[in-house]
């Protein structure tokens, strides 16, 4: 893997701290920053219903994914000069691991409270295990 850093900005009330730490690590390693917003399945269902019924906007996985990507960009734009964004839908830990693998990142920076956020983390006895299995370093930010 490269020295890419995935900054997870969903499921946190402090995305600025996550972005700052990701940028610092990217500067130290010369790696790229990938800003990721993941929407858990339970929140996806709510978002789809809200968009369809209240706003009469056509929905579907692609529409919601684009909304997530725009949220990631909106958070990252004031804080970072160079970055790539992505929006994902699914079980957050699985989506984070899959995305990090896809972009060749070796580090994930996320809110230190892995149980916080809007359905951000799958309930598991050991939430970091999927990261360890893929040899991803996880940097919690408090």
Instruction: Kindly report the pTM of this predicted structure.
Output: 0.82
Residue 127, pLDDT score: 63
Residue 119, pLDDT score: 44
Residue 1, pLDDT score: 45
Q: What share of the chain is helix, strand, coil (3-state, %, to 5)?
A: 45, 20, 35
Residues of the chain with pLDDT under 50: 1, 116-124
Residue 92, pLDDT score: 86
83 vs 77: CA distance, rounded Å: 9
Residue 113, pLDDT score: 73
How far lies 131's CA from each of 78, 84, 108, 126, in Å?
Answer: 29, 21, 9, 10
Residue 45, pLDDT score: 56
Domain positions in the chain are: 4-141
CATH 3.30.930.10 for domain 4-141: no
């Amino acid at each position: 893997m490269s020295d890419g850093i995935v900054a997870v900005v969903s499921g946190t009330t402090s995305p600025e701290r996550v972005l700052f730490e990701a940028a610092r690590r990217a500067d130290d390693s010369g790696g790229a920053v990938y800003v990721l917003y993941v929407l858990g399945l339970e929140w996806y269902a709510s978002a789809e219903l809200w968009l369809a019924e209240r706003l009469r906007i056509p929905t579907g996985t692609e529409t919601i994914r684009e909304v997530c990507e725009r949220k990631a960009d909106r958070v990252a734009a004031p804080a970072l000069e160079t970055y790539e964004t992505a929006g994902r839908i699914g079980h957050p830990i699985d989506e984070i691991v899959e995305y990090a693998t896809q972009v060749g990142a070796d580090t994930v920076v996320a809110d230190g409270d892995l149980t916080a956020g809007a359905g951000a983390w799958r309930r598991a006895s050991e939430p970091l295990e999927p990261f360890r299995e893929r040899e991803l370093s996880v940097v919690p930010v408090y």
